[in-house]
Amino acid sequence: MDNVIQICDMDRELSTKDADELVTLLKRITFKHKQIEDDLFQKQRWLMLNFVKEEKLKEYDNFVTQNRIRWGRKITRLGCKVFDGGFIGINSGFGYWSWHLGEDRIEYYHGYDEGPEKRRKLLRRDFAQIR
């Protein structure tokens, strides 16, 4: 539990090793919320095919939005930053380690004033002496 409390500090700078350990938790949280969202979209498609009223369809849009908000809150409570498109930034001390669902570990990084669209491939040997 002490590790979780330490991770939750937004200003804490994580090494690639620590960030990789955090990815395990990020994957679990993100995958769970992605499954919920996929189920909601599937139900919404079924409603559309069965010509259900638009108000009911909008209700599912709200459910998706609420799910994304809950996911974002969980991620930020872990000390991470949420970016558009489901990208997650983890403070490295010189920018963000960048992670997205489908990646097994930290493989990218970007600067503090850059978004994930500027992600660069992480060559771990380049950071071995830094962290």
Domain boundaries, the chain: 2-127
Q: What is the mean pLDDT of residues 76-96?
A: 94
Q: How confident is the model at residue 119 (pLDDT cuts 50, 70, 90)?
A: very high
Q: What is the mean pLDDT of residues 1-18?
A: 65
For the entire predicted model, the pTM comes to: 0.79
Per-residue pLDDT at 128: 52
Q: How confident is the model at residue 20 (pLDDT cuts 50, 70, 90)?
A: very high
d(CA 82, CA 73): 9
d(CA 62, CA 88): 23
**Amino acid identity at 60:** Y
Per-residue pLDDT at 116: 95
**Amino acid identity at 28:** R
**Is the CB of residue 86 less than 8 Å from the CB of residue 24?**
no
Contacts for 99 with CB less than 8 Å, ≥ 6 apart: 19, 23, 26, 87, 88, 89, 90, 106, 108
Q: Which residue has the tokens 């799910």?
A: 67
Per-residue pLDDT at 127: 56
118/4: higher pLDDT: 118
Q: What is the mean pLDDT of residues 29-53?
A: 89
In angstroms, the Cα distances linking 6 to 3, 10, 71 are 5, 9, 20
Q: How confident is the model at residue 120 (pLDDT cuts 50, 70, 90)?
A: very high
Over 60: is that where the pLDDT of 75 sits?
yes
Nearest Cα to 84, choosing from 125, 122, 119? 119
